[in-house]
Amino acid sequence: MSNIDSAIPTKPWRASNRERLTDISIFLGAFISSYVFVALTPMKGKLAYFAVFFIAYALFTSIFKARQRGSAAAKDALVNSLVAIGAVVTVIPVFSILLTVLRKGLPGISFGLFTHDMALASPTDPLNNGGLLHAITGTLTLVAIALVLSVPIGILTALYLTEIKGSFKGPIRFLVQAMSGVPSIVAGLFILSAVLYPITKAYSGLMGALALTILMIPTIARTSEEVLNLIPNELREAGTALGGTQWRTVAMIVLPAAKSGLTTAIILGVARIAGETAPILLLTGGGDTVNPNAFNGPMGSLPYYIWKSFNAGSPEAITRAWAGLLVLIGLVLILFTSARLLGSRKAAK
């Protein structure tokens, strides 16, 4: 009993102080050598520091581990440092973009931005004149119409490929893949020449949304197909064996089981189109006032607002553009978070 009582919980797998010290000295050594290296050679600039530091760090850790525990440990250390470098290299641009947008956009954010449109203001006016209400409502309208059109088509396409497995499976999968590579300007020109010129002959939100739908369908269809393929076949068999028709089985069992994945597919679809500018320039005309009618008249949108403000060139206009970017990123973030919450809450119920 006594030796059970006297046992102290320890974590022997944790790094000791000595090991931590060597890790820190390797890090510092790599830091100093990168500094010396840059100072002594003609290579200059931030990128040189980064590159030399990472190479030196990877080199030092693997040499140290090789001396300590042999070649397998050296390889492990080398791959570990490569992974760390990869993570840093991936994360830095993301945070850099977000920070830049925040730094340059925040001065342009005010309450009036969300309550006014640009009907009585030009991009070069002082910042307290006008706002981007028309652009926010326009983007939301465009995304909503594109969602309504592309989600059923995209998911039904995926169901055709995974559940019905019809004889046109091959050609349709090929078409969907080809469509996902279509440049957005081509989708815009297609709607322009196939619908806008011959039929409506006028700018409208619907025309822009149609082009966005073309861009969104392949993303939703492909991702949904991947997700539906992951649903185990046993569930389909169980539904069929209980006397369900194929449609009832798909609607009651397969789709609910794939719900969170399908939410992801829709989010990716929205991400694909939220910032699209080229088709919008061609098809919606880009108004400066709030246009509640998606079927007629030019409609503003955030990408268009950003583009127009940057083109205006004055310091106020540039700040407006950055503020528009910040609002666009925020809007997309809100859309994604609410989609995730909606998907997970229903799944948890």
Partner 1 sequence: MTTAHESETTKMQVPVKPNSLADVAQVLRTPGTKAIGTGLETRGIHAWFGKHHALSNISLGFAAGTVTALIGPSGCGKSTFIRTINRMHEFIPGAAMAGEVLLDGKDVYAPGTDVTKIRLQIGMVFQKPNPFPSMTIGENVLSGLKLAQLKVDNKDDLMQECLERAGLWSEVKDRLGAHGGSLSGGQQQRLCIARALAVRPQVLLMDEPCSALDPGSTLRIEDTIRHLSETMTIIIVTHNMQQAARVSDYTAFFLSEGGPGQMIEVAPTSDIFSRPQDQRTENYVTGRFG
Alpha-carbon span 328 to 317, nearest angstrom: 16
236 vs 320, beta carbon nearer partner 1: 236
- The residue count for binding partner 1 (CB under 8 A) is 21
Range 310-339, binding partner 1 (CB under 8 A): none
The residue among 83 and 347 lying less far from partner 1, judged by its C-beta, is: 347
What binding mask, one character per residue, do residues 141-170 give for partner 1 by CB under 8 A, x or -? ------------------------x-----
Residue 340 makes contact with partner 1 by CB under 8 A: no
Beta carbon nearer to partner 1, 89 or 347: 347
Contacts of 346 (CB under 8 A, 6+ apart): 259
44 burial (CB, 10 Å; 0-12 / 13-18 / 19+) is exposed
List, in order, residues 6 or more apart from 130 with CB less than 8 Å away.
112, 116, 117, 118, 119, 120, 121, 122
**Which residue of 182, 202, 241, 342 would you call a contact of partner 1, by CB under 8 A?**
241
240 binds partner 1 (CB under 8 A): yes
107 versus 170: smaller Cβ distance to partner 1: 170
Segment near partner 1 (CB under 8 A); pick from 19-27, 39-47, 234-242, 309-317: 234-242
Q: How many Å separate Cα 56 from the centre of its chain?
A: 33
Q: Is the CB of 43 or the CB of 242 nearer to partner 1?
A: 242
Which C-beta is closer to partner 1: that of 97 or that of 347? 347
Ranges within 174-233 binding partner 1 (CB under 8 A) = 232
Distance of alpha carbon 116 from alpha carbon 138, whole angstroms: 13
Mapped onto helix, strand or coil, the DSSP state of residue 89 is helix
Q: Give yes or no for residue 345 binding partner 1 (CB under 8 A).
A: no
Candidate list 237, 337, 338, 344; residue touching partner 1; CB under 8 A: 237
SS3 content of the chain, % helix, strand, coil (to 5): 75, 0, 25
Asked whether position 347 contacts partner 1 by CB under 8 A, the answer is: yes
Q: Whose CA is closest to 136, among 337, 335, 345?
A: 335
* In the complex, minimum distance from the CB of residue 238 to partner 1, in angstroms, rounded to a whole number: 5
Nearer to partner 1, 18 or 165 (CB): 165
β-sheet bridge partners, residue 285:
299
Binding-site string for partner 1 from residue 247 to residue 276, where x marks contact by CB under 8 A and - marks none: -xx--xx--xx-x-----------------
- Amino acid letter for position 274: A
Q: Using the rule CB under 8 A, is 5 a contact of partner 1? A: no
What is the closest distance, in whole angstroms, from the C-beta atom of residue 170 to partner 1 in the complex? 15
How far, CA to CA in Å, does 115 sit from each of 39, 238, 271? 54, 54, 25
Measure the CA–CA gap between 163 and 209, rounded to whole angstroms: 29
Place of tokens 């919606």: 284
Name the residue nearer to partner 1 (CB basis): 122 or 260: 260
Structural contact between residues 205 and 236, judged by C-beta atoms closer than 8 angstroms: no
Q: Which two tokens stand for residue 139?
A: 């983007």
* Interacting residue ranges for partner 1, rule: CB under 8 A: 165, 232, 234-235, 237-245, 248-249, 252-253, 256-257, 259, 347
